[in-house]
């Protein structure tokens, strides 16, 4: 392809897979096997498996989504189950429409936000509760794939990890294109899997202001949620009601700070979201890494140096700075594309040019 024809933001149809499909299939089988082993472990070795899940495996997810989101989306056990009906040609395969479609993002982040206090109340200490949660998530993913077409029934809509993947996966340090949607059937608007680099930007320039507000609320509340999760004492120190109240207060403070900064600064909404996302990730590992060192010691007897969490946090700050710079530098190119005649596809049936007039109206 001549240089002048190189797409500004290549979509799924403009990128060539760099690894064979069988490798992804093998990876999916391996992760499904690991998931099954965890489910069995929660029954046979409940406390060890609980520590392994919450102490090591789950904390690895945010950094994986941050560094190589495409790898996770191609291997996620929920996605694998969700795509079985599509691949076998089974189920209703309906389009996601109406209120369910417009509220899908809110449902996804509400699930994510609800899970944080529920972890402190029950899930962090109760292997049986964790077993039920994992079974429920896997079942919902499978049912979503049975009822709705493409990834519209879970991965691109209701999955509680979805908003995180869109936020942190927009400037991947390691890229891997989607290997489920071959071919794309256009099941979603601003599809992350179709064009990961611009899905988030397209969301924030949508003509539906409610659509933008939903996303801003999620970004704004995230640091408050993380801070509350790691600093609030669990029952019986706090009653369940008091714990939920403290969570809500922390979320509101975080959202309030976001709107004050947005109002008094000249930073664009997109750039503020990027800064908030970086803050949230670093806050998470600031609290989590020392706990991970302890959990590793409990599981393996291996005691890492006390400096290991500091080294990990320092490395993450450097990676975050790189990520912030790469993500922020995209906005100007995106707006240029929006205002130019160039066409960038943000979904199988959506081009940026459709948003152009709206953007001009906003000044």
Q: Rounded to the nearest whole angstrom, what is the least distance from the CB of residue 179 to ligand SF4 in the complex?
A: 10
Give the residue with the Cβ less far from ligand SF4, 113 or 194: 194
- What distance in Å separates the CA atoms of residue 84 and residue 293, rounded to the nearest whole number? 37
Among 74, 80, 82, 188, indicate the residue that binds ligand SF4 (CB under 6 A).
188
Among 96, 130, 181, 278, indicate the residue that binds ligand SF4 (CB under 6 A).
181
Does residue 84 touch ligand SF4 according to CB under 6 A? Answer: no
Q: Rounded to the nearest whole angstrom, what is the least distance from the CB of residue 61 to ligand SF4 in the complex?
A: 20
Binders in 321-360 for ligand SF4, by CB under 6 A: 347-348
Does residue 190 touch ligand SF4 according to CB under 6 A? Answer: no
Q: Rounded to the nearest whole angstrom, what is the least distance from the CB of residue 152 to ligand SF4 in the complex?
A: 7
**Region binding ligand SF4 by CB under 6 A among candidate stretches 23-31, 102-110, 127-135, 179-187:** 179-187
Does residue 156 touch ligand SF4 according to CB under 6 A? Answer: yes
> DSSP code of 91?
S
Give the residue with the Cβ less far from ligand SF4, 184 or 275: 184
- What distance in Å separates the CA atoms of residue 76 and residue 180, rounded to the nearest whole number? 11
Does residue 203 touch ligand SF4 according to CB under 6 A? Answer: no
Three-class secondary structure of residue 303 per DSSP:
coil
Q: What share of the chain is helix, strand, coil (3-state, %, to 5)?
A: 70, 0, 30
- What distance in Å separates the CA atoms of residue 353 and residue 207, rounded to the nearest whole number? 12
Q: Rounded to the nearest whole angstrom, what is the least distance from the CB of residue 96 to ligand SF4 in the complex?
A: 10
Does residue 12 touch ligand SF4 according to CB under 6 A? Answer: yes
- What distance in Å separates the CA atoms of residue 154 and residue 158, rounded to the nearest whole number? 5
- What distance in Å separates the CA atoms of residue 250 and residue 253, rounded to the nearest whole number? 5
Does residue 166 touch ligand SF4 according to CB under 6 A? Answer: no
> What phi, psi does 303 have (nearest 5°)?
-110, 110
Among 186, 230, 317, 331, indicate the residue that binds ligand SF4 (CB under 6 A).
186
Among 194, 219, 247, 323, indicate the residue that binds ligand SF4 (CB under 6 A).
194
Does residue 187 touch ligand SF4 according to CB under 6 A? Answer: yes
Does residue 151 touch ligand SF4 according to CB under 6 A? Answer: yes
CB proximity list for 274: less than 8 A, separation 6 or greater: 324, 327, 328
* Residue 241: burial class (beta carbons within 10 Å; 0-12, 13-18, 19+): exposed
> DSSP code of 57?
I
Does residue 73 touch ligand SF4 according to CB under 6 A? Answer: no
**Region binding ligand SF4 by CB under 6 A among candidate stretches 45-53, 177-185, 298-306, 335-343:** 177-185
Burial call 181-216: b when 16+ CB within 10 Å, e when fewer: beebebbbbbbbbbbbbbbbbbbbbbeeeeeeebbb
Q: Rounded to the nearest whole angstrom, what is the least distance from the CB of residue 190 to ligand SF4 in the complex?
A: 9
Interface characters, 92-121, with ligand SF4 (x: CB under 6 A): ------------------------------
148 bridge partner residues: 94
- What distance in Å separates the CA atoms of residue 282 and residue 359, rounded to the nearest whole number? 32
- What distance in Å separates the CA atoms of residue 94 and residue 71, rounded to the nearest whole number? 27
- What distance in Å separates the CA atoms of residue 103 and residue 359, rounded to the nearest whole number? 23
Q: Rounded to the nearest whole angstrom, what is the least distance from the CB of residue 331 to ligand SF4 in the complex?
A: 23
295 CB-side CA count, 13 A: 21
Give the residue with the Cβ less far from ligand SF4, 15 or 48: 15
Contacts with ligand SF4 by CB under 6 A: the residue count is 16
Residue 80: both structure tokens together:
């694998």
What is the binding site for ligand SF4 (CB under 6 A)? 12, 150-151, 156, 178, 181, 184-188, 191, 193-194, 347-348
């Amino acid at each position: 392809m001549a240089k002048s024809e190189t797409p500004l933001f290549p979509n799924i149809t403009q990128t060539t897979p760099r690894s064979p499909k069988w490798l992804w299939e093998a990876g999916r089988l391996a992760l499904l096997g690991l998931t099954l082993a965890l489910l069995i472990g929660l029954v046979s070795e409940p406390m060890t498996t609980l520590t392994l899940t919450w102490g090591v495996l789950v904390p690895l997810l945010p950094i994986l989504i941050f560094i190589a989101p495409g790898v996770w989306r191609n291997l996620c056990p929920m996605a694998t189950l969700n795509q079985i009906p599509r691949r076998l040609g089974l189920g209703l395969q309906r389009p996601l429409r109406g209120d369910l479609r417009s509220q899908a993002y809110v449902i996804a982040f509400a699930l994510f936000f609800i899970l944080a206090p529920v972890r402190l109340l029950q899930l962090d200490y109760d292997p049986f509760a964790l077993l039920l949660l994992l079974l429920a998530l896997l079942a919902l993913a499978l049912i979503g794939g049975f009822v709705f077409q493409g990834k519209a029934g879970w991965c691109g809509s209701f999955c509680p990890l979805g908003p995180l993947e869109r936020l942190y996966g927009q400037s991947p340090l390691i890229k891997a294109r989607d290997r489920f949607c071959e071919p794309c059937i256009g099941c979603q608007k601003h599809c992350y899997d179709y064009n990961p680099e611009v899905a988030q930007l397209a969301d924030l320039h949508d003509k539906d202001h409610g659509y933008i507000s939903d996303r801003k609320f999620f970004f704004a509340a995230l640091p408050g949620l993380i801070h509350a999760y790691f600093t609030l004492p669990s029952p019986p120190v706090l009653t369940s009601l008091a714990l939920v109240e403290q969570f809500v207060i922390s979320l509101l403070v975080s959202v309030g700070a976001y709107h004050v900064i947005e109002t008094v600064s000249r930073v664009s909404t997109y750039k503020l979201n990027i800064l908030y996302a970086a803050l949230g990730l670093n806050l998470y590992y600031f609290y989590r890494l020392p706990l991970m060192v302890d959990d590793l010691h409990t599981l393996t007897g291996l005691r890492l140096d006390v400096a290991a969490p500091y080294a990990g946090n320092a490395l993450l700050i450097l990676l975050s700075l790189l990520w912030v710079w790469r993500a922020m530098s995209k906005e100007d190119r995106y707006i240029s594309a929006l205002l130019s005649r160039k066409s960038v596809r943000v979904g199988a049936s959506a081009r940026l040019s459709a948003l152009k007039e709206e953007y001009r109206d906003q000044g």
